[in-house]
Amino acid sequence: MTETVDTSLDEQQKLELEAVEIKLLTEGIYQHYGFDFRDYSMPSLKRRIWKRVYAEGLSTVSGLQEKVLHDPACMESLLLDLSINTTAMFRDPTFYLAFRQKVVPLLRTYPFVRIWHAGCSTGEEVYSMAILLYEEGLYDRCRIYATDINEPVLQRAKEGIFPISSMKENTSNYIAAGGTGTFSEYYIAKYDYTIFRPSLRENVVFARHNLVTDATFNHFNVIFCRNVLIYFNSTLQERVQKLFLDSLEMFGILGLGKKETIKYLSVADNYEVIDLEERLYRRIR
């Protein structure tokens, strides 16, 4: 009599195997390409990896691992899947309003201001802040660095061309953010697109930078890192916040996204709160 072995996995075993495969995939990517997704928050990582598995016509995460390691184009596609690029101009307008009211007066006392937008995506945040700084008469004394892990989104940021369909929302955000001019003065409309004034990026350097694996590259008076850290687990948040602390001048400003906080991290004592609701902090030690 031949004995039959039950090779089917139960749900728990499937989850365990999937966790092993994801660990191997992220480790392989890190070793081979230097992109470190090992400490990205698991639920969204899993969803995005499976999206790429199916898009490549594969059926397992291990299959994707093989493809990604041997095909840089597949790695670039996965990179796009893994980085969530959602953004908007004057996103969370009250953040910009608080920045205008509480941070701009501090910046006025500086002869020169260095600003870093970390995780700038397609650049809407950068153009919004440039408009605000211009209206406050500060733009000319600012040097702005806008970075992202993702090359294609940076290319779009450099162009400063945004869909006309988003202008209604952008305009109302601009007004709610305390805009003092007329929003339409900052762009010209062409077919379905709007082309923003090139002067808004005159003082901006766009560059690829990986917050997880790359070192600090300058000292800044202001660092924005909005809606990026939500995708990192606490280990990674610790690491990136350490990078920001090393990159921020004393009394420099840190601006995070609405759902992000430094409260439970070891750097918390280095900052005082400027606006808790808007996640604006100032380095004090």
Q: Which of residues 15-54 bind ligand SAM (CB under 6 A)?
A: none
Per rule CB under 6 A, is residue 227 in the interface with ligand SAM? yes
Which CB, 98 or 149, lies closer to ligand SAM? 149
Give the residues across from 261 on adjacent strands.
none
Per rule CB under 6 A, is residue 121 in the interface with ligand SAM? yes
Per rule CB under 6 A, is residue 194 in the interface with ligand SAM? no
Per rule CB under 6 A, is residue 78 in the interface with ligand SAM? no
Per rule CB under 6 A, is residue 149 in the interface with ligand SAM? yes
Which CB, 26 or 150, lies closer to ligand SAM? 150
In the list 65, 128, 150, 270, the residue contacting ligand SAM (rule: CB under 6 A) is 150
Per rule CB under 6 A, is residue 85 in the interface with ligand SAM? yes
Taking the C-alpha atoms of residue 72 and residue 281, their distance in angstroms, rounded to an integer, is 39
Nearest Cα neighbor of 33 from 93, 83, 88, 73 is: 73
Q: Would you call 93 helix, strand, or coil by DSSP?
A: helix
**H-helix or E-strand spanning residue 71:** none
In the list 91, 201, 279, 282, the residue contacting ligand SAM (rule: CB under 6 A) is 91
Per rule CB under 6 A, is residue 273 in the interface with ligand SAM? no
Per rule CB under 6 A, is residue 278 in the interface with ligand SAM? no
In the list 226, 279, 282, 283, the residue contacting ligand SAM (rule: CB under 6 A) is 226
Taking the C-alpha atoms of residue 169 and residue 189, their distance in angstroms, rounded to an integer, is 15
Which CB, 16 or 169, lies closer to ligand SAM? 169
Joined tokens for residue 121? 């995506």
Contact 179, 151 (CB under 8 A): no
Per rule CB under 6 A, is residue 210 in the interface with ligand SAM? yes
Taking the C-alpha atoms of residue 19 and residue 25, their distance in angstroms, rounded to an integer, is 10
Contact 283, 248 (CB under 8 A): yes
Taking the C-alpha atoms of residue 36 and residue 244, their distance in angstroms, rounded to an integer, is 18
We find the least distance from the C-beta atom of residue 123 to ligand SAM, in angstroms, to be 9
Which CB, 38 or 141, lies closer to ligand SAM? 38
160: alpha, beta or left? (left if phi > 0; alpha if psi -120 to 50)? left
Per rule CB under 6 A, is residue 241 in the interface with ligand SAM? no
Q: Which residues of 85-109 are buried (b: 16+ CB within 10 A; e: fewer)?
A: eebbbbbbbebbbbbbeebbebbee
In the list 25, 61, 68, 148, the residue contacting ligand SAM (rule: CB under 6 A) is 148
Per rule CB under 6 A, is residue 257 in the interface with ligand SAM? yes
Nearest Cα neighbor of 171 from 88, 104, 282, 249 is: 88
In the list 25, 39, 95, 125, the residue contacting ligand SAM (rule: CB under 6 A) is 125
Contact 236, 166 (CB under 8 A): no
What's the one-letter identity of residue 71?
D
In the list 132, 212, 222, 253, the residue contacting ligand SAM (rule: CB under 6 A) is 212
Query: Rule CB under 6 A: which residues touch ligand SAM?
Result: 83-87, 91, 119-121, 125, 148-150, 153, 210-212, 226-228, 257
